[in-house]
Amino acid sequence: MALLEVDDLRTHFFTREGTVRAVDGVSFAVEKGKTLGIVGESGCGKSVTALSIMGLIPKPPAKIVSGSVMYEGSDLTKLSERELEDVRGREIAMIFQDPMTSLNPTLTVGTQITETIRRHYDVSQKQANKKAAELLEKVRIPRAAERLLDYPHRFSGGMRQRVMIAIALSCDPKLLIADEPTTALDVTVQASVLDLLDDLRHEYDMSMIIITHDMGVVAEAADDIIVMYAGQVVERASTLDLFDNPEHPYTEALLGALPQIEGANVRDGRLTAIPGRPPDLIDPPAACRFGPRCRYAGSDDCTKHEPQLREIRSGHWVRSAHPASERAGSRKPQEVGS
Amino acid sequence: MSSAKAPLLQVTDLHKHFPIREGLLIERKVGDVKAVDGVTFDVAPGETLGLVGESGSGKSTTGYCILQLMKPTSGSVKFEGTELTELGREDLRRMRREMQIVFQDPYSSLDPRMTVGDIVGEPLVVHKIGTRKDRSARIRDLLDVVGFNPSYTNRYPHEFSGGQRQRIGIARALALSPKLIVCDEPVSALDVSIQAQILNLLKDLQNDFGLTYLFIAHDLAVVRGMSDRIAVMNRGRLVEIGRAEDVYTNPQDDYTKALLSAVPIPDPRAMKERKAARRKLRHALAES
């Protein structure tokens, strides 16, 4: 059963220049105990999707204009600010990209962890401190008890992200949303943070949404993936099926544009760049939003009708008139084994 | 290939130390940060040498010391046999025609008050090349070469996206027809689809103009695709240097191994093995 179900979510920003359709018809589900990866490039709406789930979008200018976010039977978009506060942190926690700015520099790390604990649980400061020390140990910060008294500037980037994870875990959330959790980190630090998240997810029996621009990160961390482009989900599948048989021309192009460290034609082949750039979300193309950059575009289906997200085979959804397996002369999708 | 021709650039035992000072009224030096700590390598004409490392490894400082944008503490940098560290201002300025740089951040490396044309043409003005008319023709050629619409010369950088701005930065670097371009994280601020456009452009320019690149980046996949040879830096030192393929398929140094094993690759099946391998390596490194 799904823990979280997002249906046709639309979050628009009403600005002087016009209405920015940042999230424009996003649907997905997060299963219990699973990790969903959301990938896409800057401005595709992946972070706004996460903030909309958490009720953290700035209103105004932003507004959820339609759709629902069902979490354990209640629609989060309909909750009052007060009710949302009980969900945030306690049920759904979030960690952000930049561990340098998401901690308060004027408070000790201990204070920042215990304030979340005491907001949601009726415990004494002493009990909260004890729990905070345990949490820092869980995220593998050495000399945990002493370090509670330190200010954030005494921690490196990777260590700060661990502190953020400790705060996120402090109230045993059922869902953890990680928005580009390792983007600001060096590659070796990124690897250890991803390993940590993976361990904790099992230990705490959490579901996770991991938002990233990095195809490598979702390949390693996610069970299921949605690919976003210009505010919409363009493809949704299990991780293995998505990488084995990408259907949407954008997903295919994105994988072709990616430099790799191993495998054939690493050096000799040119990268298959995607021409142009993503559309302006104030005035996106009327029909297919990827159309102007798509090598298969051209038919009326591309320019006249807006493609809908449809299930092309069991569990694999795509929003395109020309998915790979339907194009002339295309090979049959590979069998997905495990 | 590096043995066939005399090297274009020779870096020998390069050091760059930054003093650490303490004390309120009377400052005194209490130590050094050894940002670059004895780096030696050659770059052959027409070659791309990739310089990889994590933040703080000293890779950008190495690049700046080569171009003399920072004065090295000690060591030698020879460009076509000329020792750069001993040159005076005027001689250095003349040498700069041969060596240019493309910066990481296309948002802060272009003066927001200058038009695109002025930015690309500035090196020509500084080096007093051509008449005003020659220069404006040259600017249009340069913009055309990097795939930037030449009719936009009178616009300002803020009107363009990151990828377009990086094209402007590349056109500026090409203006003096240099032999060597130091690319300092040229694509790390760009999205994947745009990044591929810029990497392809850099390759085309290298083929067309016989450029030599020192390609500095933290992204191992990007460096691999661009480079003939790779140098890996860690804490100011060069830990490994060799043909790209050898370094990637058969790394010798433990740090290189750890670095490579940490890269997430877009292949969920291979990732399972890599995850197990890198955990093992990390434990081994932690214990050593």
**Cβ–Cβ gap A261/B260 under 8 Å:** yes
The b-or-e profile of A268-287 (16+ CB within 10 A means b, else e) is: eeebbbbeebbbebeebbeb
The b-or-e profile of B179-199 (16+ CB within 10 A means b, else e) is: bbbbbbbbbebbbbbbbbbbb
Find, among B50, B44, B117, B40, the residue nearest to B77 by Cα.
Answer: B40
Radius of gyration for chain A, computed over Cα atoms and rounded to the nearest angstrom? 21
pLDDT score recorded for residue B2: 44
Shortest CB distance from B193 goes to which of A260, A267, A273?
A273
- Measured between beta carbons, the chain B residues lying within 8 angstroms of A272 are 196
Shortest CB distance from B191 goes to which of A41, A192, A261?
A41
Residue B154 to residue A276: CA distance in whole angstroms: 22
- The stretch A177-181 carries a mean pLDDT of 92
Interface-testing mutation among B47, B188, B193, with chain A (most A C-beta atoms within 10 A): B193
With cut-offs at 50, 70 and 90, classify the pLDDT of residue A267.
low
**Cβ–Cβ gap B268/A266 under 8 Å:** no
Nearest CA in chain A to B278: A191
Residue A2 main-chain phi, psi, to 5 deg: -80, 140
- The stretch A38-46 carries a mean pLDDT of 91
- Is pLDDT above 80 for A142? yes
B131-157 per-position pLDDT tens digit: 999 999 999 999 999 989 888 999 999
CA angle at residue B159 from B208 to B99, to 5 degrees?
A: 35
In order along its 288 residues, chain B shows pLDDT tens digits of 445 578 999 999 999 999 888 877 777 888 888 999 999 999 999 999 999 998 889 999 999 999 999 999 999 999 999 999 999 989 999 899 999 999 988 888 899 999 999 999 999 999 999 899 999 999 999 999 998 988 899 999 998 888 899 999 999 999 999 999 999 999 988 888 888 889 999 999 999 999 999 999 998 989 998 999 999 999 999 999 999 999 999 999 999 998 898 888 888 888 888 888 888 877 777 776
Tally the C-alpha atoms within 13 A of residue A43's C-alpha that lie toward its C-beta.
14
* Bridging pattern class, strands B28-43 and A2-15: unpaired
**Cβ–Cβ gap A254/B193 under 8 Å:** yes
Q: Which helix (H) or strand (E) holds B51?
A: strand B48-52
ipTM of model: 0.81
**Cβ–Cβ gap A187/B194 under 8 Å:** no
Residue B153 main-chain phi, psi, to 5 deg: -60, -25
Secondary structure of residue A28 in the 3-state scheme:
strand
Interface-testing mutation among A41, A44, A183, A187, with chain B (most B C-beta atoms within 10 A): A187
- Measured between beta carbons, the chain B residues lying within 8 angstroms of A260 are 221, 224-225, 265-266
Taking CB atoms and an 8 Å cut-off, how many pairs form between chains A and B? 122
List the strands of the sheet with B9-22, edge to edge.
B28-43, B9-22, B74-79, B82-83
B159-213 per-position pLDDT tens digit: 888 889 999 999 999 999 999 999 999 998 888 888 888 999 999 999 999 999 9
Sign, CA torsion A298/A300/A305/A311: negative
Query: 10 Å Cβ neighbour count for B112?
Result: 10
Instruction: Assess B192–A contact: CB distance below 8 Å, yes or no.
Output: yes
